[in-house]
Amino acid sequence: MITNIADMLTKARTGGYAVGAFNTINLEFTRAIIEAAVDMKSPVIVQITEKTMEYAGGRAIFHLVKNIAEFYGANVPIGIHLDHGKSFEAIRRAVEIGFPSVMYDGSRRAYADNNSMTKQITEYCHERAVVVQAELGNVPYIGEIDPQHVSWKQYMTDPAQAQEFVAATGIDTLAIAIGNAHGFVQERSEPDYARLRDIAQRVAAPLVLHGASDWDDGRVKNVIADGVACFNVDTKSRVAFLTTLAKQLTDEGESPSFDVRKLLGHAQDAVKEVVAEKMALFGSVGKA
């Protein structure tokens, strides 16, 4: 069932677990995510990026996710979310399509600009009953940093600014930076747990981590205990999908199948396995 994400994450933070927010790009990813949620009796967030909207068509991919959620996931809480909207126009388009939750990512802007634009977007969205996530700090991508010489402090969320930012903008959830990084960027050797605890003490809004797909059990448990209520997962799912698909096409001594449904079905199963593993790691199993 389609569920308010702010309510879902508030419940997770209070309950001492986290919800996985998994990116989809097509039918197979969407089925994998929602089937895993049903099997694991776990709340889940299915999220869509601007690039995926350009690739699949914004209305097409949104209604694909919405229909699968409604017909196949009626017994588990499912959030639908725009991931990393970079402009007011991108947010406006998503809201007009029907997204019940959006992320505005102004993290590359100066603090004052991020604050001002996030406030405007939040006011626009809240008038339409749409949940808003924003990001403060900088979760880097490949090409943005020199992994050998990273001054992590300049990328991480300032706790006092976070308190001010949430109060000024009225956002519902906050994505933070504590040494995490997108994709295959080398992360900080250890997350800044003290910084996270300080942010959590100052900010009542649920906290979200991007770029933590590959975190191990210890790190995940530590940050959940310190206040993180949501993990974004993308890279690990894509690697599972593509690795499985490539293996089927390149296995020596076997003729590859020309049944695309069969090939994609196995890749879908691989994504489903990743999603289920993450749900167990985040402690959301049985929390539907």
- State the maximum Cα–Cα separation within the chain, in Å, rounded to a whole number: 62
Distance from the Cα of residue 239 to its chain's centroid: 16
CA distance 284 to 42: 5
Residue 146 known to be catalytic: no
Catalytic entry in 7, 83, 113, 269: 83
Active site residues: 83
